[in-house]
Chains A and B, each alone.
Chain A
Amino acid sequence: MDIRAHVSMVFHLDKCIGCHTCSIACKNIWTDRKGTEYMWWNNVETKPGTGYPTLWEDQEKYKGGWEKKNGRIELKLHSRRGGLGNIFHNPYLPTIDDYYEPWTYDYENLFNAPEGDDQPTARAVSMITGKPMESIEAGPNWDDDLGGSPLYARNDVNLDELTEEEREQLNEVERVVFFYLPRICNHCLNPGCVAACPAGAIYKRGEDGIVLLSQEKCRAWRMCISGCPYKKTYFNWASGKSEKCILCYPRLESGQPPACFHSCVGRIRYLGVLLYDADQIESGASVANEDLVAAQRAMIMDPFDPEVIAAAKKNKISDAMITAAQNSPVYKFVKKWQIALPLHPDFRTLPMLFYVPPMLPVLAKTKDGTYDVEGLDKENLPAMLSSLEKARMPIKYMASMFSAGNTNVVEDVYRKLIAVRIFKRAQKVKDYQQAEVDAALASGKTNAEEVEAIFRLTSLPTYEERFVVPPLGRESAVEAWEIPLARKQEAGFGVRNKIAKRKF
């Protein structure tokens, strides 16, 4: 057992209102420089849809992540030698057109245009070439809220497993259904970006698991962009260096949550520490598709287990970090309640951002223009419970995104979420019989106590409950792992070469 700590995340998709405040918060802090205009380290896309960059989930196109070969996992992108062979031209690199060409408008023309018969206009100007753009063909959130869905939503790769009928169902006007998927770098345990970089410029911070890309070491071999299946490393075309989400580590180190978390209007985001067993990384990433979620849950350790605590201490994880892990909302969602799932575990990078799948688009089909809540299903469950079988958003679609195709995993999550709904509704609206509530709890494999806890952390959490920022503050938290006295005299004016310390 090699216990490490990881700052991890949960996004509760039922709560996302698609306002893009998170994206803007991030952009204003990190990506408003030249060469980064097109980058959205945090982006929010509409599902079904092709996302950003277009079709990022299609690994036949982009070759991101890992694949199983002869029982072992290998990068889909290249072997080591193959990578060096393709270094002069990476055949799977997305180009700016897969994102969009950033532009501004020639506002000055509105003031400076000579007098004429027509109103002056502000033409679109490319932020790369500075030349006018004839037409704008893509932009951030081009397919927001299913805009252009025949082109975008229809090509979502998660629909591949669906039958023709199921696909049609999604597109019927009266039943049109979608949800938002906010995405940042998942700070994976088995990151494809790190493994693909020939220069070794990308690394995981041991103490908190944040994946960073060294600007000093990046040599623009541009393999990480392909290696990351989530397309969360970006190429700065002006500096010729790749960049990625840094989980706002300067904020974390001063006790604040990342800006996208802090600003989230729907309060969908949770941040906390997980303790995990690093010895299981390779084996956990190599299991069969249907076992991937279970394997990842298995490598997350119980922070209350004395054995785990002892192993953590042996690895010099501080008491404060262990306490943070015990208070972690992420631990509850992911491991204790098992209702948060990794996005595309089939990419085998072991992402450490988990999603509570959205229920609203799943529940309630319409029939004759009204919600179809009639009837009992085969298990004699109450109407709301049976809705899973009649789901508008096919479970297979959700399974393709959140459980590598294993529908049982997603159904288990939904049964529990539905149990929470029924239980609370019985409490407040009082239109369910106790027998129905009990049936719901049983089918969700849960109990009254757990349901109350889930409800509380979902609907009424305080700021401090949502963000349990571990003690990473450099000045104060350093005491947790280092004796400050041992570091005295090491820094200060004029110390370029280390000077021998005073012995007294």
Chain B
Amino acid sequence: MFDNALFIGFPYVAVAIAIVVSIYRFWFDPYSYSSQSSQFLESRVLFFGSVPWHYGIIIILLGHITALLFPGLWGLFTANQTRLYILEIVGLSLALMATVGLVLLLYRRMANARAHAVTSEMDWILLFVLLLQVGLGFWVAYYYRWGSDWYLHTAVPWLLSLLKFQPNIASVSALPFWVKFHFVGGFVIILLLPFTRLVHLLAYPFSYLWREHQIVIWNRSRMN
């Protein structure tokens, strides 16, 4: 019962809230969609925090998503031992990179008076939750080795069942406590997304790659 609430009820609620609030916020408060950079006040530590954090976390998240969307291909890839070793090592290093970056980001906001002055309560909550989740992920990956393989047989069937609206938690209910904790943590972060600065990843400026360099806006139409 409790598992049902955690692995079926909560994910649906979290995702639903995330989608509705993100859209609402985009529509009625576009001003608040921002990465709220604090580099202007403190640049040095930010470099050593933000760069490893972002490159680490983004690649890892892409890994999670790729395995979920293309489990067959992923399975073929991990079927070879050398490739599995490489994947695990790369994954662990990225996780380490992200964790170190995040610790630095947290440290920076505590130790630097200027960065501290522009840190909101939600920022603290977000940074701590992220640290917990990333730390946990790192721990799980290290302690329950070959996660890049068993993820396919535990999390993926469950997540796919959620996506298909035919929830089935058989593949996750028997997992160790820490692994379950990490799974639920993912949805906590999805839930937090629209309420924190995390919305900045929804505003990723892809269009910069192809838009005209110069932008001219006419208040009146130039049409006849």
A-side residues, CB < 8 A to B, are 75, 80-81, 83-84, 87-91, 93-96, 126, 128-131, 190-191, 194-195, 198-200, 202-207, 215-222, 225, 235, 237-238, 240-241, 281, 315-316, 481-482
In contact, B51 and A237 (Cβ under 8 angstroms) = no
SS of B interface (majority): loop
In contact, B114 and A129 (Cβ under 8 angstroms) = yes
In contact, B43 and A95 (Cβ under 8 angstroms) = yes
| B34 in the interface (beta carbon within 8 A) | yes
What residues on A are CB-neighbors of B38 within 8 Å? 237, 240
What residues on A are CB-neighbors of B216 within 8 Å? 203-206
> Which of A195, A221, A241 meets B213, CB within 8 Å?
A195
A-B contact pairs, 27 of them (CB 8 A): A81-B209, A87-B205, A88-B51, A88-B55, A93-B40, A94-B40, A95-B41, A96-B40, A96-B114, A126-B113, A128-B114, A131-B113, A190-B214, A191-B214, A194-B213, A194-B215, A205-B216, A206-B217, A206-B218, A207-B220, A215-B31, A220-B200, A222-B39, A222-B40, A237-B40, A237-B41, A237-B118
Q: Knowing that A96-B40, A194-B213 touch, tell me 12 more A-B residue pairs with CB under 8 angstroms.
A: A89-B51, A95-B43, A128-B113, A129-B116, A203-B217, A204-B217, A219-B34, A220-B37, A235-B37, A237-B118, A240-B38, A241-B31
Docked CA distance A238–B38 (Å): 9
- Assess A95 versus B209: contact at CB under 8 Å? Given A129-B114, A130-B117, A190-B214: no
Shortest distance from the beta carbon of B99 to any chain A beta carbon, whole Å: 16
Docked CA distance A83–B204 (Å): 12
Docked CA distance A281–B216 (Å): 13
A83 nearest CB neighbor, chain B only: B208
In contact, B205 and A207 (Cβ under 8 angstroms) = no
A234 nearest CB neighbor, chain B only: B40
What residues on A are CB-neighbors of B46 within 8 Å? 89
Interface size class of B (residues with CB under 8 A): 35 or more
What residues on A are CB-neighbors of B37 within 8 Å? 220-222, 235, 240
What residues on B are CB-neighbors of A91 within 8 Å? 47
Shortest distance from the beta carbon of A352 to any chain B beta carbon, whole Å: 14
What residues on A are CB-neighbors of B208 within 8 Å? 80, 83-84, 198-200
In contact, B220 and A316 (Cβ under 8 angstroms) = yes
Shortest distance from the beta carbon of B56 to any chain A beta carbon, whole Å: 11
A480 nearest CB neighbor, chain B only: B220
In contact, A220 and B36 (Cβ under 8 angstroms) = yes
B101 nearest CB neighbor, chain A only: A88
> Which of B33, B205, B218, B219 meets A198, CB within 8 Å?
B205
Scoring B residues 3 to 40 as 1 if CB is less than 8 Å from chain A, else 0, what string do you get? 00000000000000000000000000011011111111
- Assess A216 versus B215: contact at CB under 8 Å? Given A93-B39, A95-B43, A222-B40: no
Scoring B residues 38 to 64 as 1 if CB is less than 8 Å from chain A, else 0, what string do you get? 111111001100110111000000000
Docked CA distance A96–B44 (Å): 13
> Which of B30, B36, B47, B116 meets A240, CB within 8 Å?
B36
Docked CA distance A128–B116 (Å): 10
- Assess A217 versus B30: contact at CB under 8 Å? Given A88-B51, A96-B41, A237-B41: yes
- Which of B37, B51, B203 counts the most A-chain CB atoms under 10 A from its CB? B37
Shortest distance from the beta carbon of B27 to any chain A beta carbon, whole Å: 12
What residues on A are CB-neighbors of B50 within 8 Å? 88-89
B197 nearest CB neighbor, chain A only: A240
| B222 in the interface (beta carbon within 8 A) | yes
